[in-house]
């Protein structure tokens, strides 16, 4: 069954514009409620978290109205990280978890992500079934069976306590100065609290959300702000989260960035050495650098690639029984600890590596030499399908012929924004720039 409004990470778009309207959120809540409440009982629960976007209030209220209209009881967490919703859905024995966030996108966007009772994101099949229900008339509950809504005041505190348990039991961060950039997003209170309670000297950045400044010149997509703070304060490490804190970038004491590939390489090598890397494999997407694959092969480990999207990484991890995966963009999935990417817990694991090895961050952030990679995005308008254009197809075929096995080419539509992503890898940087430029030029001409 096809999905029309769900993308690679739930439903996402510009706030107050289809499909991110209050009306659609109400209908979506009702459809999800009907999908999960099939037995007429009144004990069904939904937990709802959100990031700090202004539109979160509107969508939270609309979802609550839709869910309670079908008899679901709603537990409102307020601003918490996406991984906290996954954790609390399972911990609170809820049937459904919902996170209202557009992750790393700007403040004018928003999104709705769904988690099942096991704390993992819903499957494509479940989302398609919710869409099928959405397209019909959703049967409301009888008046006496309308659900209730309740604020949960300690949701953040529960997550904070859990996050601390993922750090070595006798370990502490005293003597370490850590910059934590929360992107003015969902972790703006939780992340600094965890680090401070573990003993770190915390330098907080991006912790003054106003509804409009999430991901604005801060966080994992704009690491320069945190890098300046690291250098200015003489910090040992910088941890940059995105708006919903499910992805991370690590900065060493010089402000140099380690992306998801480098972080995964470190964890994979350490876990394999400790005989805790299940299947001796790491799961990552087609976007991960060829250098990561070579790094793993050199240690007798395997890289399993999936489609782009942390949900597909997690699906493969669960299918194969693997416990480490993620994306170059900073989603680090460790199913020993969390059901989805968790930027804060990944940061804690990096700090644990520093503490246990006695090495500086700069010794750990560069695990392998990357193969030159170029990624460019081309925005397109409504109703356009650039990848079906003959000129674009010819440009792609020409690029593949020119690379002739010496590199990789990946052209795809974004699942969260109207973008064509053009990515290539090649040792010959001049050739790399030429093939990417030709494809980008053809796509731009088609839109």
Nearest residue to 29 (alpha-carbon basis) of 107, 97, 89, 117: 97
**Number of helices (H), then strands (E), in the chain:** 13, 18
Catalytic residue among 55, 69, 101, 103: 103
DSSP state of 10: B
What DSSP string describes 209-268?
Answer: --SS-TTSS-STT-THHHHHHHHHHT-SEEEEE-TTSS-EEEE-TT--EE-HHHHHHHHH
User: What distance in Å separates the CA atoms of residue 10 and residue 382, rounded to the nearest whole number?
Assistant: 20
Backbone angles phi, psi at 349, to 5 degrees: -65, -35
Sheet strands side by side (includes 45-50) = 11-14, 109-115, 96-100, 45-50, 73-79, 149-151
What DSSP string describes 333-345?
Answer: EETTT-SS--HHH
CA angle, residues 250, 192, 171, in degrees to nearest 5: 75
User: What distance in Å separates the CA atoms of residue 238 and residue 203, rounded to the nearest whole number?
Assistant: 9
Q: Are 233 and 225 in contact (CB under 8 A)?
A: no
Nearest residue to 286 (alpha-carbon basis) of 241, 329, 338: 329
Q: Are 208 and 181 in contact (CB under 8 A)?
A: no
Where are the strands (E) in 107-158, listed by range? 109-115, 149-151
103 labelled catalytic: yes
First to last CA, the chain: 29
Q: Are 189 and 163 in contact (CB under 8 A)?
A: no
- Interhelix angle 343-357/190-197, rounded to 10 degrees, is 20
Instruction: Give the chain's radius of gyration (CA, Å).
Output: 22
DSSP state of 361: G
The strand pair at 73-79 and 332-334 is best described as unpaired
Q: Which residues are catalytic?
A: 103
């Amino acid at each position: 069954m096809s999905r029309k409004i769900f993308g690679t990470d739930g439903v996402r778009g510009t706030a107050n514009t289809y499909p991110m309207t209050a009306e659609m959120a109400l209908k979506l809540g009702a459809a999800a409620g009907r999908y999960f409440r099939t037995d007429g009982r009144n004990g069904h629960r939904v937990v709802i978290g959100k990031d700090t976007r202004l539109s979160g209030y509107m969508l939270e209220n609309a979802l609550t109205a839709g869910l309670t209209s079908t008899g679901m009881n709603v537990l409102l967490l307020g601003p918490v990280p996406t991984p906290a919703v996954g954790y609390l859905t399972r911990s609170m024995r809820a049937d459904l978890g919902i996170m209202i966030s557009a992750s790393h996108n700007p403040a004018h966007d928003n999104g709705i992500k769904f988690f099942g009772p096991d704390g993992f994101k819903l499957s494509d099949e479940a989302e398609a079934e919710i869409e099928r229900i959405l397209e019909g008339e959703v049967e409301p509950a009888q008046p006496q069976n309308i659900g209730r809504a309740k604020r949960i005041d300690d949701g953040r505190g529960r997550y904070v306590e859990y996050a601390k348990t993922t750090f070595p039991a006798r370990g502490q961060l005293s003597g370490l100065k850590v910059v934590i950039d929360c992107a003015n997003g969902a972790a703006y209170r939780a992340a600094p609290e965890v680090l401070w309670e573990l003993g770190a000297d915390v330098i907080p950045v991006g912790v003054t959300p106003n509804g409009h400044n999430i991901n604005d010149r801060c966080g994992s997509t704009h690491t320069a702000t945190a890098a300046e703070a690291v250098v200015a304060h003489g910090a040992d490490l910088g941890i940059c989260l995105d708006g919903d804190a499910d992805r991370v970038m690590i900065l060493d004491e010089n402000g140099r960035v380690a992306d998801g590939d480098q972080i995964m390489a470190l964890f994979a090598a350490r876990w394999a050495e400790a005989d805790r890397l299940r299947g001796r494999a790491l799961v990552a997407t087609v976007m991960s650098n060829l250098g990561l694959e070579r790094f793993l092969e050199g240690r007798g480990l395997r890289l399993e690639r999936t489609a782009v999207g942390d949900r597909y990484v997690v699906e493969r991890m669960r299918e194969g029984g693997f416990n480490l995966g993620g994306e170059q963009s900073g989603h680090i999935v460790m199913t020993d600890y969390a059901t989805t990417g968790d930027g804060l817990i990944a940061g804690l694991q990096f700090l644990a590596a520093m503490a246990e090895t006695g090495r500086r961050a700069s010794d750990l952030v560069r695990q392998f030499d990357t193969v030159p990679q170029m990624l460019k995005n081309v925005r397109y308008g409504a109703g356009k399908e650039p990848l079906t254009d003959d000129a674009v197809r010819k440009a792609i075929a020409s690029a593949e012929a020119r690379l002739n096995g010496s590199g990789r080419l990946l052209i795809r539509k974004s699942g969260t924004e109207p973008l064509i992503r053009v990515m290539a890898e090649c040792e010959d940087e001049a050739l790399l720039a030429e093939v990417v430029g030709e494809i980008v030029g053809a796509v731009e001409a088609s839109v």
